[in-house]
Chains A and B, each alone.
Chain A
Amino acid sequence: MRSRDGQSPPALGFLTVVGHEPLGLFGGYLVLNHNGRPLEFHCTTPVKPNRAQEILYGPTLEPFLYGEQIGRALVEKSSVDVQLICTDLAAVLAVREHVSQPVALVLPPEVEERPCPPPGATASRNSLPESGLEARPTPATPAFRIDAAHVHGILPAPFSLGRNRLAIAADHADDRQRLAGVLESLAGHFDLSEPFARIRGAIDEARRGAR
């Protein structure tokens, strides 16, 4: 990724996935400058896993689709280097394996302090922070498992930066320090959860416009 003018203006990336029945998953990636102004927006056409993928990927389907496939494709499409990537879906954290920037899961402030379960765990709908999870598609059939999913590690406890509550992938614990460095001057007034509403609005607009 390179900025268009060869420089790297301070920018933040916001990445999420929106489920829509019956079309499938829409990915959205919004790049903002430090004032919250949009610099770029990218969205995908709907992606829908087939039945075999749903069965065979099991609980790892969401990290695979959200992070590895949709998220990675969107981030690679962007022409602006971002300092960090924020998401409101735990499953999108899987994109961290494919990007160099720190990836932060933005949690709603009202979530009580507790460790997050693994992003791919089936029980995540009940036990993960509520942010954005409503937007995820409900699997066609419920999945049951008795062991831990093959995920990228357990999420460490959420932490606060300014007014925002964040979590990171456990395999990238040093991201916390990097996030703090980037958000030091921003986190006080920048509500990192707000841009996701814009992405959802834009995806909805694009979806209606495509009809």
Chain B
Amino acid sequence: MIPLGTILFVRAPDVTRIEHSFPPVETRAHGANVLAGGPIEVVSIAPAPLRPGVVSVPLGKPAIKIFGYLFPQSTLADRAPALPAAPLGAKVRRAPPPAATPATCTRLKPPGDVIKLADRLFYVLQPPLETVVAGQALDFPFHPFPYQFEGIAFLYPRYAAILADEMGLGKSMQAITAVRLLLHAGEIRTVLLVCPKPLITNWRREFQLWAPELPVVVIEGEQTKRLWQWKTDCPVKLANYELLQRDRDALVEPGLHFDLVVLDESQRIKNRDCATSQIVRSISRSRNWALTGTPVENSPDDLVGIFEFLSPGHLSTTMKPRRMGQLASDYVLRRTKDRVLTELPPKMFRDADVTLTSEQRETYRLAEDEGVLRLTELGEGATIQHVFELVLRLKQICNFDPATGASAKLERLEADLEEVAASGRKALVFSQWVGTLDKLRRRLARFGPLAYHGGVASRRRDEVLREFKESSERRVLLISYGAGSVGLNLQFAQYVFLFDRWWNPAVEDQAINRVHRIGTAGPVTVTRFLALGTIEERINQILEEKRELFDTIFSDVEPHRHAGLTRNEIFGLFRLKCPSGPLDLAA
């Protein structure tokens, strides 16, 4: 025991000892030491040699494991154009040179179905599309919008994809540019683009505009010529759906393979059992893209039909819409103008509710009573076809009274067109009947109307559009939904009149978007005619429900109420009970 007041210092083994003594101190409770006086007792301790323990801290070097990935020699960013030069006479307009630092930076993202890490990294490590475009000296007539770069980046890595942008956002341009980049990179060599026949010239024009260096052949003409065209080495082939049916045998010949097949207006194959769907599915191909503004026109089965072409079995008709939307999400890119083109002039809707003239009212009442009576008499034998016949008849009466030609809608339309003409603007008038358009053409003669419908020869149609665009005397274009709702660029007009309503809103949207699209000069006014107290009003309710169905699949928003068109609802148009037995959904 070392007495209080002794302090020992032990510093190191080679120092024998150090002793210091202090006078005794008293430790008080509060901790202060107080000198107590008296002799100092010294205690000497002979320290044993100390050998302090040594603790070694191994720093070491971290073990570093490295994974390496090598990339193929030919990829997106590193190809001088290896394609034939632009055809003679092709005009190439250059977009303004990109800024030194691109305003946007759009990167390729690997699709969800690419599993291998090396494959995913291949896409992740590619340069931004803007850099590729600038570095490859690819000419663009106009600098693409950022959302268009995103669309190109979406299509580029995908073997199965639906570009479902709203009409007017430039699906054609995005698809063509993605094709162009893939061809330049050597990732694909043969492309087949299929579209409705009236749109062939439009696509050819779009290719000349956006990819002037790509040789494009349109499959057309006599059978011998077509068979030869199918076998040519031209990298891009354009064909229409109707022609595929005639050339079915040639398409399935061994050796005919396409690296990419693009279906424009792919809702044409929504019915899996139709011949067109079967034919396109039989084409030997590696990649499949579908372009449509309306992947779901009537029911979720439409989307299943398109996926049978893209990725068979991925969706099934037994799935609920929300589940279907989840599974399709990685394959579908859908943008609307409201979201991506905030600078686009507004689209304003006017619901022109008209009251039928007395003549129309009387004719309508008689026709409806008679039709409902007949349906009632048919009882269980009534089919959906019977209902449709009555609907069409009533809708026609809502347009014009067949006996007198009276039309409340026409009266309203004439008043509106006076205003349109006075302002120096142009208008489109849509109807589903050529007969209605013919009547309108006669009654609206003072506005110099032109007609664009199935009754106009294909070779005349481009001329009609050109005249409508260029002639100040031509204020009105009368268009049928069937012929003019897709593929036309009529953004120089600013008024759209839906003289009668189509069965599904997607077709109406397509019609409206002929005008409301990129390049629109000003606000677009859409007037939807609706005859009050008639079948049109009831159909309008169904159209609204279909819009909700679309939202259910392509957005995360829960529907507010049941969406879709059931048999009961179809018969319910006339307050009839649905008979038993199979019925198709409304077309």
Q: What is A's interface to B at a CB cutoff of 8 Å?
A: 4, 27, 30, 33, 35-45, 47-49, 52-53, 56-57, 65, 69-70, 73-74, 77-79, 163, 189, 191, 194-195, 197-199, 201-202, 205-206, 209
> B186 on the interface (CB 8 Å rule)?
no
Contact assessment for B78 and A35 in the assembled complex, using a CB-CB cutoff below 8 Å: yes
> B23 on the interface (CB 8 Å rule)?
no
Q: A57-B59, A77-B66, A205-B124 are in contact. List 11 more A-B contacts (CB 8 A).
A: A36-B131, A37-B78, A41-B71, A43-B66, A198-B125, A201-B124, A205-B117, A205-B121, A206-B67, A206-B117, A209-B117
Q: How far is the CB of A51 from chain B (nearest CB, A)?
A: 10
Which B residues lie within 8 Å of A40 (CB)? 68-71
Which B residues lie within 8 Å of A74 (CB)? 66
Select from chain A the residue with minimum beta-carbon distance to B110.
A205
Q: How far is the CB of A32 from chain B (nearest CB, A)?
A: 8
In the complex, which of the residues A30, A42, A79 contacts B66, with contact meaning CB atoms closer than 8 Å?
Answer: A42
Which B residues lie within 8 Å of A69 (CB)? 61-62, 64
Which B residues lie within 8 Å of A65 (CB)? 62
Contact assessment for A39 and B71 in the assembled complex, using a CB-CB cutoff below 8 Å: yes
Q: What is B's interface to A at a CB cutoff of 8 Å?
A: 57-59, 61-62, 64-71, 75-78, 100-101, 105, 107, 110, 117, 120-122, 124-128, 131-132, 134-135
**Could you tell me the distance between the alpha carbons of A202 and B127 in the complex, rounded to whole angstroms?**
12
Contact assessment for B120 and A209 in the assembled complex, using a CB-CB cutoff below 8 Å: yes
In the complex, which of the residues A4, A37, A45, A199 contacts B127, with contact meaning CB atoms closer than 8 Å?
Answer: A37
Q: How far is the CB of B119 from chain A (nearest CB, A)?
A: 11
Classify the interface of chain B: helix, strand, loop or mixed.
Answer: loop
Select from chain A the residue with minimum beta-carbon distance to B122.
A38
Contacts A40-B69, A41-B121, A209-B120; A35 near B77 (Cβ below 8 A) = yes
Contacts A189-B134, A206-B117; A39 near B62 (Cβ below 8 A) = no
Select from chain B the residue with minimum beta-carbon distance to A24.
B62
**Could you tell me the distance between the alpha carbons of A144 and B135 in the complex, rounded to whole angstroms?**
47
Which B residues lie within 8 Å of A33 (CB)? 78
Contact assessment for A41 and B59 in the assembled complex, using a CB-CB cutoff below 8 Å: no
Q: Which of B57, B100, B105, B125 has the most chain A CB atoms closer than 10 A to its own CB? A: B125
Please, could you name 21 A-B residue pairs with CB atoms under 8 Å apart, sorted by A? A4-B70, A35-B135, A37-B76, A37-B126, A38-B75, A39-B70, A40-B68, A40-B69, A41-B68, A42-B67, A43-B66, A44-B66, A45-B67, A49-B62, A56-B57, A69-B64, A70-B64, A191-B101, A191-B131, A194-B127, A201-B125
Contact assessment for B126 and A47 in the assembled complex, using a CB-CB cutoff below 8 Å: no
Which A residues lie within 8 Å of B75 (CB)? 37-38
Which B residues lie within 8 Å of A191 (CB)? 101, 131
Contact assessment for A47 and B62 in the assembled complex, using a CB-CB cutoff below 8 Å: yes
Select from chain B the residue with minimum beta-carbon distance to A57.
B59
Q: How far is the CB of B300 from chain A (nearest CB, A)?
A: 31
Contact assessment for A198 and B124 in the assembled complex, using a CB-CB cutoff below 8 Å: yes
Which A residues lie within 8 Å of B71 (CB)? 37-41
Contact assessment for A73 and B69 in the assembled complex, using a CB-CB cutoff below 8 Å: no
Which B residues lie within 8 Å of A42 (CB)? 66-69
**Could you tell me the distance between the alpha carbons of A45 and B110 in the complex, rounded to whole angstroms?**
22
Contact assessment for A43 and B62 in the assembled complex, using a CB-CB cutoff below 8 Å: no
Contacts A37-B78, A163-B101, A189-B134; A47 near B124 (Cβ below 8 A) = no
Contact assessment for B59 and A194 in the assembled complex, using a CB-CB cutoff below 8 Å: no
Q: How far is the CB of B544 from chain A (nearest CB, A)?
A: 42
**Could you tell me the distance between the alpha carbons of A56 and B127 in the complex, rounded to whole angstroms?**
40
**Could you tell me the distance between the alpha carbons of A52 and B191 in the complex, rounded to whole angstroms?**
61
Which A residues lie within 8 Å of B135 (CB)? 35-36, 189
Select from chain B the residue with minimum beta-carbon distance to A5.
B73
Contact assessment for B65 and A45 in the assembled complex, using a CB-CB cutoff below 8 Å: yes
Which B residues lie within 8 Å of A79 (CB)? 70
**Could you tell me the distance between the alpha carbons of A78 and B70 in the complex, rounded to whole angstroms?**
10
**Could you tell me the distance between the alpha carbons of A163 and B131 in the complex, rounded to whole angstroms?**
14
In the complex, which of the residues B59, B64, B120 contacts A44, with contact meaning CB atoms closer than 8 Å?
Answer: B64
Q: How far is the CB of A202 from chain B (nearest CB, A)?
A: 5
Contact assessment for B59 and A52 in the assembled complex, using a CB-CB cutoff below 8 Å: yes
Contact assessment for B66 and A56 in the assembled complex, using a CB-CB cutoff below 8 Å: no
**Could you tell me the distance between the alpha carbons of A36 and B62 in the complex, rounded to whole angstroms?**
32
Contact assessment for B67 and A202 in the assembled complex, using a CB-CB cutoff below 8 Å: no
**Could you tell me the distance between the alpha carbons of A201 and B126 in the complex, rounded to whole angstroms?**
11
Which B residues lie within 8 Å of A57 (CB)? 59
**Could you tell me the distance between the alpha carbons of A63 and B65 in the complex, rounded to whole angstroms?**
19
Contact assessment for A205 and B69 in the assembled complex, using a CB-CB cutoff below 8 Å: no
Select from chain A the residue with minimum beta-carbon distance to B62.
A47
Which B residues lie within 8 Å of A49 (CB)? 62
Q: Which of B69, B110, B122 has the most chain A CB atoms closer than 10 A to its own CB? A: B69
**Could you tell me the distance between the alpha carbons of A79 and B66 in the complex, rounded to whole angstroms?**
13
Q: How far is the CB of A161 from chain B (nearest CB, A)?
A: 13
Contact assessment for B100 and A189 in the assembled complex, using a CB-CB cutoff below 8 Å: yes
Select from chain B the residue with minimum beta-carbon distance to A191.
B101
In the complex, which of the residues B57, B66, B77, B120 contacts A205, with contact meaning CB atoms closer than 8 Å?
Answer: B120
Q: How far is the CB of B316 from chain A (nearest CB, A)?
A: 29
Which A residues lie within 8 Å of B124 (CB)? 198, 201-202, 205
**Could you tell me the distance between the alpha carbons of A156 and B17 in the complex, rounded to whole angstroms?**
55
Contacts A37-B127, A202-B124, A209-B120; A47 near B69 (Cβ below 8 A) = no
**Could you tell me the distance between the alpha carbons of A4 and B100 in the complex, rounded to whole angstroms?**
33
Q: Closest 6 CB pairs between A and B?
A: A37-B78, A36-B127, A37-B77, A38-B125, A45-B65, A42-B68
Which B residues lie within 8 Å of A4 (CB)? 70
Q: How far is the CB of B124 from chain A (nearest CB, A)?
A: 5
Which A residues lie within 8 Å of B65 (CB)? 44-45
Which A residues lie within 8 Å of B122 (CB)? 38
Q: How far is the CB of B62 from chain A (nearest CB, A)?
A: 5
Q: How far is the CB of B86 from chain A (nearest CB, A)?
A: 22
Contact assessment for B125 and A41 in the assembled complex, using a CB-CB cutoff below 8 Å: yes
Q: How far is the CB of A40 from chain B (nearest CB, A)?
A: 6
**Could you tell me the distance between the alpha carbons of A189 and B105 in the complex, rounded to whole angstroms?**
15
Q: How far is the CB of A25 from chain B (nearest CB, A)?
A: 9
Q: Which of A33, A35, A39, A52 has the most chain B CB atoms closer than 10 A to its own CB? A: A35
Contact assessment for A206 and B100 in the assembled complex, using a CB-CB cutoff below 8 Å: no
Q: How far is the CB of B229 from chain A (nearest CB, A)?
A: 35
Q: How far is the CB of B67 from chain A (nearest CB, A)?
A: 6
Q: How far is the CB of A150 from chain B (nearest CB, A)?
A: 15
Q: Which of A36, A40, A201 has the most chain B CB atoms closer than 10 A to its own CB? A: A36
Which B residues lie within 8 Å of A27 (CB)? 64, 66
Q: How far is the CB of B73 from chain A (nearest CB, A)?
A: 9
Select from chain B the residue with minimum beta-carbon distance to A41.
B69
Which B residues lie within 8 Å of A37 (CB)? 71, 75-78, 126-127
Which A residues lie within 8 Å of B110 (CB)? 205
Select from chain B the residue with minimum beta-carbon distance to A198.
B125
Contact assessment for B126 and A38 in the assembled complex, using a CB-CB cutoff below 8 Å: yes
In the complex, which of the residues B62, B78, B105 contacts A194, with contact meaning CB atoms closer than 8 Å?
Answer: B105
**Could you tell me the distance between the alpha carbons of A171 and B120 in the complex, rounded to whole angstroms?**
39
Which B residues lie within 8 Å of A45 (CB)? 64-67
Q: How far is the CB of A112 from chain B (nearest CB, A)?
A: 18
**Could you tell me the distance between the alpha carbons of A26 and B67 in the complex, rounded to whole angstroms?**
11
In the complex, which of the residues A47, A70, A77 contacts B68, with contact meaning CB atoms closer than 8 Å?
Answer: A77
